[in-house]
Structure 1
Amino acid sequence: MASIIGYARVSTADQNTELQLDALAKAGAAKVFTDHGVSGAKTERPELDKMLDYLRKGDTLLVWRLDRLGRSMQHLVTLVAELKERGIIFRSIHEGIDTSTINGELVFNIFASLATFERELIRERTTHGLAAAKARGRLGGRPKKYDAKKIALIKRLHAGGDMSPQEIADAAQVSVSSMYRLLKMETPA
């Protein structure tokens, strides 16, 4: 038999889930999984994972608000698409979304389109920003931490053969692991 399963989440331990739990119970949730003190941005939400394992075909996943479930709009869209593939309905009380209805499906597809649009805008801005930086003579990525002089110093001290790896690293002001990595590098021109 299909059930309505609720999910509630609060970001900090001192927040309280009563408002969410009351709304979920009033909307018919037979069981509620709750993550306490877990940010929506975190990928590890133990109760969410348990609930996703618990849900069966025909069940309804119920949340008080969209932001209680998804880390981002893209994450939310992906999650609801996975639920749909499994035959699970998604409902959000606050936004009035119910994927079992044509109107709810439409609203959610609009959200999905907006998430795709946002992702493409970010990608486009990044591409343009890198192109503009390159035109100004700057390459992408973080600046090099070690210059040619430092690499040459390490290679010279190592070739001398009279210093321990720790002494070479100390003289070059790098860690021993960095010293070994720099030994393998070509000396930049």
Structure 2
Amino acid sequence: MLLGYARVSTDDQNLHLQLDALNLAGCEKIFEDRFSGAKSERPGLQNILDYARSGDTIVVWRLDRFSRSLKDLIDIVTLLGSKEIGLKSLQEAIDTSSSSGKLIFHLFGALAEFERNLIRERTQAGLKAARARGRHGGRPKALSQDKQALSVKLYDDKKHTVYQICEMMGISKPTLYKYIEAAKGNQ
């Protein structure tokens, strides 16, 4: 069975072009969403994924109407493949139920993985260069070493509540407990 999926990003847009193309392609049932692709909750997409059965093919007007990103597309097609459900894009002429469509899709997947690896390598190189210049990432400590020691001393003296210590020092309870643990580890 051919199942159609159409999505527009805003209520101002309409689905006429996509619906006409999906009907012309022979879709027996069409699911719709009127949400930005950036939103993870797309009830129409979830409904079509729940409805589709082995041997069905989901038809979309364009791949960008189906997924938020290439990674998202690969994840969805992998899910569809595990359920033996095909994906057909009318504009890109990709049909994962055919051998050539699978090849094109896997090339897209390989390019996406290559891009992710390049980003990871550039990020690591940038962090390494920053460390060589004495810069270290992460959030700065809330308190200086002296104030950390003072907060632990106030806690150990048991004259103030945890809440009072946190208020005086301007820190949260987890931060105070982290300083206390660190002080115990240094003893």
Aligned residues: 186
The question of whether the paired residues in 2 share the 8 Å contact of 1:148 and 1:187 is answered with no
Q: Using a 3 Å threshold, how does the CA distance of structure 1 residues 176 and 116 change in structure 2: closer, same or farther?
A: closer
Paired amino acid for 1:127: Q
Paired amino acid for 2:7: R
The question of whether the paired residues in 2 share the 8 Å contact of 1:152 and 1:187 is answered with no
Scaled by the length of structure 1, what TM-score is found? 0.84
* Aligned-residue RMSD, C-alpha: 2.4
In structure 2, what is the equivalent of residue 53 of structure 1? 50
1:7-156 equivalence runs, <5 A: 7-37=5-35, 39-156=36-153
Q: Using a 3 Å threshold, how does the CA distance of structure 1 residues 126 and 7 change in structure 2: closer, same or farther?
A: same
Paired amino acid for 2:13: Q
Return 5+ residue gaps in structure 1 as ranges: none
Return 5+ residue gaps in structure 2 as ranges: none
Q: Using a 3 Å threshold, how does the CA distance of structure 1 residues 188 and 47 change in structure 2: closer, same or farther?
A: same
The question of whether the paired residues in 2 share the 8 Å contact of 1:151 and 1:187 is answered with no
Distance, in Å, in 2 between the alignment partners of 1:144 and 1:15 is 48
Scaled by the length of structure 2, what TM-score is found? 0.85
Paired amino acid for 1:168: I
Distance, in Å, in 2 between the alignment partners of 1:167 and 1:81 is 53
Q: Deviations over 1:5-35 (max 9, x none)?
A: 1112223343332222222122211111122
Distance, in Å, in 2 between the alignment partners of 1:163 and 1:14 is 59
In structure 2, what is the equivalent of residue 163 of structure 1? 160
Distance, in Å, in 1 between the alignment partners of 2:23 and 2:147 is 65
% of aligned pairs identical?
Answer: 48
Distance, in Å, in 2 between the alignment partners of 1:146 and 1:113 is 46
SS of equivalent to 1:138: coil
